[in-house]
Amino acid sequence: MAGEARKVGVVGLGAMGAGIAQLCVEAGVETIGREVTAELGERARDRIAGFLARKVEKGQLDARERDAALARLSLTTEVADLADCDLVIEAIVEELDAKQRLFAELERVCRPDAVLATNTSALSVTEIASAISTPERVVGMHFFNPAPLMPLVEIIRAERTADDAFETAYAFGERLGKHPIRCHDTPGFVVNRVLIPLLNDCVRVLDEARVSVEDLDAGMKHGAGWPMGPCELIDLIGLDVHVHASEALWAKLREPRMAPPPRLVAMANAGLLGRKTGRGFYRYES
């Protein structure tokens, strides 16, 4: 496998992918970001530039370092342009078929020794890897949102992941300044396997204990030491993202606590997705 990743591709430059690309260029890594249209790619570059500009304003980065980081990011709409990457990190939509199609395409265009990583939060890395004839090169790298700020990355070993691919991904997580943890492929991995049913329980308590959103959040912050209340956290994650992950865990495990509560499903269907839409459990100014 690739060993040290000197050139990295990031496929999908939405909120997660753009954050991962930002981490890469800040760490001094030549990075190619792939989006389906040039407009989406430029929009992601602008977001990254904005985040770096704020770091300059806060004195966390100087202007020369910012310019050098942005210069390390190139954009493309062609998967073929990732051919000479040592590591490619996928961060596209959370749909198994779409990920499997992408990995089959990556296998065709990337070097045989390149490591292929998925940032999936809820799907099986083993199932994603099953779409290609070299599943030993596939590993999970689950970053947390927002990727530039959250220190954790889960490095997930699928059923057929090779040791060298796994260690390449782990070492790259360290290079990005993250705290990587090792785990095996299981529904929800480590954090979401614990957190999703816990957040679902919190939402069910809203109705069962007839507690307000504000009091529930205050209870968990002041009684359990949480830095953020559960409703605040779900708003930050996005209700649609949480419901999707809950449904994926429920489908795999059939444990009642994994199923999304009806209140969350109704809110997601109504477009009350949290911070990104300006309203979820709370209202947010744009």
- Is 242 among the residues known to form the active site? no
- Is 159 among the residues known to form the active site? no
Cβ atoms 8, 31 nearer than 8 A: yes
Task: Round to whole Å and give the CA distance between 184 and 131.
Answer: 19
Catalytic residue among 142, 200, 244, 246: 142
- Is 179 among the residues known to form the active site? no
Catalytic residue among 119, 124, 192, 200: 192
Cα–Cα separations (whole angstroms), residue 214 to 130, 222, 277: 45, 12, 20
Q: Which helix (H) or strand (E) holds 179?
A: strand 179-184
Task: Round to whole Å and give the CA distance between 58 and 184.
Answer: 39
Residue with tokens 């078929």: 97
Catalytic residue among 119, 121, 124, 200: 121
Strands (E), 35-160: 73-76, 87-90, 115-118, 138-143, 152-157
Task: Round to whole Å and give the CA distance between 127 and 135.
Answer: 10
Exposed / middle / buried, residue 270 (Cβ in 10 Å: 0-12, 13-18, 19+): exposed
Task: Work out the number of other CB atoms within 10 angstroms of the CB of residue 4.
Answer: 10
Tokens describing residue 48: 């990254």
- Is 214 among the residues known to form the active site? no
Cα–Cα separations (whole angstroms), residue 167 to 29, 174, 239: 18, 11, 33
Catalytic residue among 35, 90, 136, 154: 154
Task: Round to whole Å and give the CA distance between 129 and 37.
Answer: 26
* Sequential DSSP letters for 132-169: SS-GGGEEEEEE-SSTTT--EEEEEE-TT--HHHHHHH
Which residues form the catalytic set?
121, 142, 154, 192
